[in-house]
Amino acid sequence: MDLVLLLEQTLNGLQFGVMLFLIAAGLTLVFGIMDLVNLAHGSLVMIGAYLAATFTGWTDSFLIGLLLALPATFAVGIITEIVVLRTLYQRDHLDQVLATFGLILFFNEGVRLIWGPVSLYSDLPSYLSGHVEFIPGAPYPVFRLVIIGIGLAVALLLYLIVAHTRLGMLIRAGASNREMVGALGVDVRRLFMLVFGLGATFAGLAGMMLGPLTSVQPGMGEPLLILAFVVIIIGGIGSIRGAFVASLLAGLLDTIGRVFLPDLLRTFLNDAAADTAGPALAQVLIYLLMAGVLIVRPRGLFPAQSG
Amino acid sequence: MAELALSVSGLRKSFGGLRATDNLDLDVEQGELHAVIGPNGAGKTTLISQLAGELNPDGGRIIFEGRDVTRLPAHRRSALGLARSFQITSVFRSLSALDNVAMAVQAHDGHSFRFWAQARRQPGLRGPALAALDQVGLAGRAEAVAAELSHGEQRQLEIAMALATRPRLLLLDEPTAGMGPDESGRMVELLQSLKQSHTIVLIEHDMDVIFQLADRITVLVYGRAIATGAPDQIRRNDVVRQAYLGEEHSEVPADA
Amino acid sequence: MTRLQFRIALVLLLMFALVPPLGALFEQPFLSYFFARIMILGIAAVSLDLILGFGGMVSFGHAVYLGVGAYAVGVLSHHGIDNGFIQFPVAVLASGLAALAIGAMSIRTSGVYFIMITLAFAQMLYFLGISLEEYGGDDGMAINRSEFGGLIDLWDPMQFYYLVFGLLALFTYLAHRIVHSRFGMVLQGTRSNEQRMRAIGFPTYRYRVAAFTIAGVMCGVAGALLANWNEFVSPDYMHWTRSGEILIMVILGGIGTLVGALLGATGFLLLEEYLPDLMDLGAQGWGEHWMLLFGPLLILVVLFGRGGLYALLTRWAIRHG
């Protein structure tokens, strides 16, 4: 087996994994604390990407574009929470699924209205678009390394918040037993708003990283959203640690699967068929993992909820 | 000696660090009404849940009429003749009282993979259902939607559903919970009549009810059975009194 | 079924029956074509209402059976077997097996886990469909309509329409009988209070899996019909947004009424077809962005549409005697 290829793909898997984590972290918090199934979380990824691309275009600086897009996405998240999501907390999951499905339609069309249906492409600044050869013989894109770095930094930041701040304590308490937090006199409304805003920002950040890698287009968040849901089910609803572990697992599984599955399939399929089937079936792996985990651990790997 | 209706030995159940059932032994004789009492948190409902098959014990054995049912799921125990009523009313709220009881009848009338004939029109279901409702005194409310019944009527419905499964052993979890004196009185009368034909394990807080009905009493404290015997013996038992001292709602009479 | 439910169903079916002659009268052949699709998706919606409205199972992967049924027809057609007498039974068998397998695994979970796992299985089959280069993969493949050897000619829009109509009426009636049978009572009881059902002696798991399978088969037939209607199959039939749409149809129409599912399918597809035109009336070019209105409309229906179109109709009917 080609070791260099394996290392390369492992890094790609890590990069995909941390991006998934950025999305899954917000999702699991919102689900764990507010018991809200939010299908429109993927839309926040998309909105972050669009905002970053636009601000970068205006200011001609990727960094400034990013720094402007982050609070802007936070604002969009807060507004969405206040206008729509607040009314859904008391509803059952079916209602939430449908209402947020409606939000997806609205956001996708809104984005199409404002930016047009054609994909946007954003260029990376020169200092991010090069390659680094720290694996001998395999130059690896700097930007992907930066993504991994940012992702791990966010994970660390979240860990610090959750483990060492008052907000974090409320988050842990809320994820474990949401009624108690309200009973303790905490302004639950403000907590929810903040948690949602935080999650939205992280999702937007994922989109901002994703934009230069692929492109920015309507509906770009949906495939990732589904994966993120699978990830938080595997990790355990409400658990950031679970989301982290499961995201990395998913990223690695998907990436390595994509590369090696076609080869595996070539042994009994013709080349063209194997090349089509490989990547598609690689995506099936993560669902198989979820099914497997649910059979053995019905509450996920690190369930946060008590009782 | 007649076969025991129920024989529990060494039953254990822990939730994290909390021992809800702590090496519990309990024997219930055929035809008796065996009351289980104890302060709040003694593990009474946990016990019933394990006896009914809702909860899996960590250890110990449950023998029902000579048969080891410890690992048997709830629906299989029901088929064997074990019926349970719930402390917190657990009925089919959107269905009528008659439908509720008919459901219980249906559960014991063969399999339900019947897709064509309308269930509500079947005398095989309605008949026994009405009879059970009549037995508990709810015949007049057969068509009322369960959610609209008064609390006391819902408790009666609970019993009717348990009865409709033609059980041999009834596990009743606080049937008089939340009832006023009139309703409690009616429930006691009902239970008196049921005593003739069923073995009953009764969990209750109301000591008046207990002393009117129980053949034997077991006292549960922190998941252990600290005393078992006839009501008079329990009344005079020092260990029991100590357990109840400081209990706000203790109704164990001070004199025999 | 209440008298009102029955009457609404009758009126709706009458309306469907009259579409082709009315279409001929007004020289709008598109009408039959369009309403055939409404009826096909109506069958799918009724099958979902069976498990959702009466069984309490929120399946977010129901469109997968549309796909399985469609591909049964498509794959056989691709290999030269256009005989409907072979294709349709295969569609029934395939969707039944798929539903049995998926149901057996999913029904071990509940709540949001159930929603997610049904979604996951749907995605798996969707990706499987994309991966099959032989059958068009991502692009899908064109197929011929099924042949029934002279008994009925599906290429004739009239005959096709009334076949679908007949199946719709049949399936709705079957669903009605199932729901009120002993089996249906078990389903309803399990939806209401599963713990109590077990306590009184029902092995609930097997009944839920059975219901799930029946719904899957019904939806599979709808899929076979849809493949015929489109003369085309693609993995898109199984995309999760399709499942979302069927769910919306059931909710829009009114959960747990069967007739509601038909109302919802009609309402949803009429909106989808004519909302853009309506919006263009307001201002030229707006119609293109009909989703902008449709999305929030959905949210409003969820928040305020207690009981859906069915409840609306019943309230109106009661007020007017």
What count of CB pairs under 8 Å joins B to C?
A: 96
Return the pLDDT at B246: 47
Give the one of B107, B113, B122 whose C-beta lies nearest to C200's C-beta. B107
Q: Encoding tokens for residue A49? A: 């990407």
Confidence tier at A306 by pLDDT (50, 70, 90): very low
What's the confidence (pLDDT) of residue B249?
A: 47
pLDDT tens-place string over residues C35-53: 999 999 999 999 999 999 9
pLDDT value, residue B2:
65
Q: Averaged over C208-229, what is the pLDDT?
A: 97
- In chain C, residues 125-184 whose CB comes closer than 8 Å to chain A: 127-128, 130-134, 137
Starting from the edge strand earliest in sequence, which strands make up the sheet with B82-85, in order?
B82-85, B169-173, B199-203, B33-37, B216-221, B224-229
Q: What is the mean pLDDT of chain C?
A: 90
Contacts of B116 in chain C (CB under 8 A): 177, 181
> What mean pLDDT do residues C127-154 have?
86
A295 with C240: Cβ contact below 8 A: no
pLDDT tens-place string over residues A19-58: 999 999 989 888 888 888 899 999 999 999 999 999 988 8
pLDDT of residue B129: 95
pLDDT at C308 over 50: yes
- Is residue B36 classed as helix, strand or coil in its secondary structure? strand
Q: Please, are residues B211 and B217 in contact by the beta-carbon 8 Å criterion? A: no
The answer to whether residue A286 scores a pLDDT higher than 80 is yes
CA distance C171 to C168: 5
Q: Tens digits of per-residue pLDDT, B161-182? A: 999 999 999 999 999 988 888 8
Q: What is the ipTM, given to two decimal places?
A: 0.86
Residues of C in contact with B54 (CB under 8 A): 195, 198-199
Convert the pLDDT of each residue in A7-28 to its tens digit. Answer: 888 889 999 999 999 999 989 8
Partners of B102 on chain C (C-beta within 8 Å) are: 185
By DSSP bridging, strand A131-135 and strand A138-141 are antiparallel
Interface probe with A: pick from C116, C119, C238, C290, most Cβ of A within 10 Å: C116
Question: Is the distance from CB of A47 to CB of A40 less than 8 angstroms?
Answer: no
Q: Which residue of C has its CA nearest to B118?
A: C181
> In this structure, how many other beta carbons lie within 10 angstroms of the beta carbon of residue C305?
17
Q: Which of A70-79, A155-164, B81-90, C64-73 is the least confident region?
A: A155-164
What's the pLDDT score for residue A307?
Answer: 35
In the A/C pair of chains, how many CB contacts fall below 8 A? 121
In the CATH scheme, what is the code of domain C3-319?
1.10.3470
Which token pair is B27?
């024997």
Q: Which residues of B touch C (CB under 8 A)?
A: 52, 54, 73-76, 78-79, 83-84, 86, 90-95, 99, 102-104, 106-108, 112-120, 122, 161-162, 164-165
Contact residues for B227 (Cβ-Cβ < 8 A; gap 6+): B217, B218, B219, B233, B234, B237, B239, B240
Cβ of C296 within 8 Å of Cβ of A284? The answer is no
Q: Per residue in C86-138, pLDDT tens?
A: 999 999 999 999 999 999 988 988 888 888 889 888 988 998 898 887 888 88
More confident position, C310 or A262: C310
Any chains having at least 3 CB pairs less than 8 A from chain C are: A, B
Q: How far is B51 from chain C (nearest CA, A)?
A: 11
Query: Exposed/middle/buried for A153, CB within 10 Å: 0-12, 13-18, 19+?
Result: exposed
CA C10 vs CA A81, B31, C7, C245, C259: distances in Å: 43, 57, 5, 25, 10
Q: Does A287 touch chain C (CB under 8 A)?
A: yes
Is the pLDDT reported for residue A293 higher than 60? yes
Could you say which residues of chain B have pLDDT below 50?
1, 246-250, 254-256
**What's the pLDDT tens digit per position in A155-192?**
999 888 888 888 888 877 776 676 777 777 777 788 88
Provide the residue ranges of all domains of chain A, joining segments of one domain with +.
Answer: 7-218
More confident of the two residues A34 and C11: C11
Mutate to test the interface with C, among A34, A96, A98 (most CBs of C within 10 A): A98
Structure tokens at B209: 């009810």
pTM of the predicted structure, to 2 decimals: 0.88
Position A120 scores a pLDDT of 84
User: Which residues of C sit within 8 Å Cβ distance of B?
Assistant: 177-178, 180-186, 188-189, 192-193, 195-204, 207, 210
Q: Contacts of residue B114 in chain C, CB cutoff 8 Å?
A: 181-183
Chains with 3 or more CB pairs under 8 A to chain B: C
